[in-house]
Structure 1
């Protein structure tokens, strides 16, 4: 399934696997950086326990 999706993207954009991997790696790097700079804060153990009880 993932392999078919990659092939479809490569065909639609007319790029090689290497180019696709570089773009995806760069995107993942940007997402990780964003998440480090803007962490999701649950508000401590109280809110975490409320979330788990729902």
Structure 2
């Protein structure tokens, strides 16, 4: 994600800003490509033990 003026106009995912602007934000939302693949990935994460802290 890029924040800026005409200098970043050729980049993907540009949020136009102006000099002196005090607050910038961005949020990316993505939809899973395959529902079953996403479910398997979440289950894999859930079943992976968290290592103990030192």
TM-score by length of 1: 0.33
Write 1 or 2 for the structure with the bigger share of strand: 2
More RCO (CA 8 Å, sep 6+): 2
Structure 2 length-normalised TM: 0.33
